[in-house]
Amino acid sequence: MAAQSIELVEVGPRDGLQNEPEIIPSAVKLAMIGRMLDYGARRLEVASFVHPQRVPQMADAEDVIAGLPNRKDATYIGLVLNKRGVMRALATREGGARGIDQIGCVIVASGTFGQKNQGQTIAQGIAENRAMIRFAREQGMRAQVTISAAFGCPFEGEVQPETVLAIAEEMAAEGPEEIALADTIGVGVPAQVGDLFGRLGELLGGRIPMRAHFHDTRGTGIANAWAAYQAGVRIFDASLGGLGGCPFAPKATGNIATEDLVYMMERSGIDTGIELEAAIAANHWFAERLGRALPSLVARAA
Q: What is the pLDDT of residues 193-232, one digit of tens each?
A: 999 999 999 999 999 999 999 999 999 999 999 999 999 9
Q: Shortest CA distance to 57 belongs to which of 11, 23, 92?
A: 23
Q: Give the whole-angstrom CA distance, residue 110 versus residue 279.
A: 35
In a domain, 29, yes or no: yes
Residues of the domain holding 221 = 7-301
In a domain, 2, yes or no: no
77 near 46, Cβ under 8 Å? yes
Query: Strand 7-10 and strand 43-49: pairing?
Result: parallel
CA dihedral 223, 224, 230, 236 (to 10 degrees): -110
Residue 156 has what DSSP assignment? T
> Mean pLDDT throughout 92-121?
88
Q: Shortest CA distance to 180 belongs to which of 238, 249, 127, 219?
A: 238
In a domain, 1, yes or no: no
pTM of the model: 0.95
Q: Give the whole-angstrom CA distance, residue 280 versus residue 269.
A: 20
Question: Over the stretch 168-184, which tens digit does the pLDDT of each residue have?
Answer: 999 999 999 999 999 99
In a domain, 238, yes or no: yes
Q: Give the whole-angstrom CA distance, residue 215 versus residue 251.
A: 11
The whole-chain average pLDDT of the chain stands at 94
Confidence of residue 252 (pLDDT cuts 50, 70, 90): low
Residue 205 has what DSSP assignment? T
Exposure string for 221-241, b = 16+ CB within 10 A, e = fewer:
bbbbbbbbbebbbbbbbbbbb
pLDDT of residue 1: 46
The CATH number given to whatever domain includes residue 293 is 3.20.20.70
Q: How many domains, in total, are found in the chain? A: 1
Q: Give the whole-angstrom CA distance, residue 262 versus residue 257.
A: 9
In a domain, 106, yes or no: yes
Q: Give the whole-angstrom CA distance, residue 159 versus residue 188.
A: 11
* CA atoms in the 13 A half-sphere facing the CB of 9: 26
Known catalytic residues? 246
Give the CA distances from residue 212 to residues 56, 127, 139, in Å, rounded to whole numbers and listed in that order.
26, 23, 27
**Rounded to 5 degrees, what angle do the CA atoms 274, 275, 281 make?**
120
pLDDT score of 248 more than 60: no
* CA atoms in the 13 A half-sphere facing the CB of 52: 5
Q: What percent of the chain is modeled with pLDDT above 90?
A: 88
